[in-house]
Amino acid sequence: MQLTRTSIDLILANITAAAAVFTDADTFLGLFTEIADQGLDTTLADVTLPPGGLATAIDIGTWGTAYRLVNGQPVRDADPVEFRPASSAEATIVTGWYIADAAAAGNLLGFGYFADAISLPDEFAAVTVILRLTVPNVTAWDVTMSYNG
């Protein structure tokens, strides 16, 4: 069966709906310094968090209005999330990001790596991450992010 753009748009809407996997009320974005990648069995226990306030995942806010990329894929972006150490006491180097269903001690929903490690030496350094949910084809969906590091 060939699905139409309408079907794909509805899939995207359902993934981010109130009781869905990536509801904006229960989707939190965090950073890690290391992760013991266990594939599908990776949990938050496998994640090494940065120090201090950076160890707490941040609510993504709300999903933006769905729109189309140049290639026609429907997409929804979350609000930008800024991660900034409180001071040099929280200096760290982060290597990736994760999505969980709670700010702390929740379930790991997914994770990814930055192209290069990002140094956050003090309160004057920050990384802003935007979570993006796309439906690249009728049999898959994907969560990616963009950042200024």
Structure-token match 């890690």, residue found: 32
**Terminal Cα distance for the chain, rounded:** 42
Mean pLDDT of 14-37: 84
Per-chain mean pLDDT for the chain = 85
pLDDT range class, residue 22, cuts 50, 70, 90: confident
pLDDT range class, residue 4, cuts 50, 70, 90: low
Residues 24, 62 contacting (CB under 8 angstroms)? yes
> What whole-number distance in Å separates Cα of residue 22 and Cα of residue 2?
25
pTM assigned to the model: 0.82
> What whole-number distance in Å separates Cα of residue 132 and Cα of residue 121?
27
